[in-house]
Amino acid sequence: MQEKQKVQIVPVKVYRSADRITVAAPLPGLQPEDILVTVTEEGNLVIHGEVRGMLKDIKELLVDEWSVGEYHRELDLPESVDGSGANATYGNGVLVVSLPKSAYSTAAVLKLEKVGIDRGERVGLAGHLQMRGTRMSTIPVPVPEAGYLLMPEL
């Protein structure tokens, strides 16, 4: 049996708080760099992800109950949001997009950057204080041979 690639509809949870709209969507099997989030001026959120590694012909597929392939979802947001101030994080197979409410929607394309094994983020202004002229960055943490993770002292 050959593995088939198909576009899968992404289920979502949408939350509203006093100052933001948050959307959570499971996207199992993706790497952060495979995910693209778009906010349109019309107030739509588009989530797209593409799996790069399908089974090759070297393996015989015996049971096919879930698929690899593209993930895609477009949804109308319940309120206007500022896409340029959005945050997006991806970890444990779940994408979370936090969008600040706004008087009118502004468009943005959010690309996630890998910050760890199967974790990614695109940091905007939603829910974070940002000082002018500063930029968030990551600090690599060495993993010793014993498998323990050492955290640097802050």
| Statement: 8-122 belongs to CATH 2.60.40.10 | no
At residue 72, the pLDDT reads 93
For residue 1, pLDDT beyond 60:
no
Amino acid at 93: G
Q: Pairing between strand 8-9 and 70-76? A: parallel
133 torsion bin: left (phi>0), alpha (psi -120 to 50), beta (else): left
pLDDT per residue as tens digits for the range 65-101: 766 678 999 999 999 999 999 999 999 889 999 999 9
User: CA angle, 26 as apex, 21 and 30 as ends, to 5°?
Assistant: 120
CB 27 within 8 A of CB 10: yes
Q: Domain residues of the chain, as ranges? A: 8-122
Per the model's pLDDT, the better-predicted residue between 24 and 30 turns out to be: 24
CB 46 within 8 A of CB 23: no
Structure tokens belonging to residue 93: 């197979």
- Tell me the pLDDT band of 126, cut-offs 50, 70 and 90: low
For the chain, what percent of residues have pLDDT higher than 90?
A: 44
49 torsion bin: left (phi>0), alpha (psi -120 to 50), beta (else): beta
For residue 139, pLDDT beyond 50:
no
At residue 60, the pLDDT reads 76
- Tell me the pLDDT band of 51, cut-offs 50, 70 and 90: confident
- Tell me the pLDDT band of 56, cut-offs 50, 70 and 90: low
**Arithmetic mean of pLDDT, 105-131:** 71
- Tell me the pLDDT band of 127, cut-offs 50, 70 and 90: low
Given the structure tokens 């996207």, which residue do they identify? 27
Verdict on whether the full-model pTM lies above 0.85: no
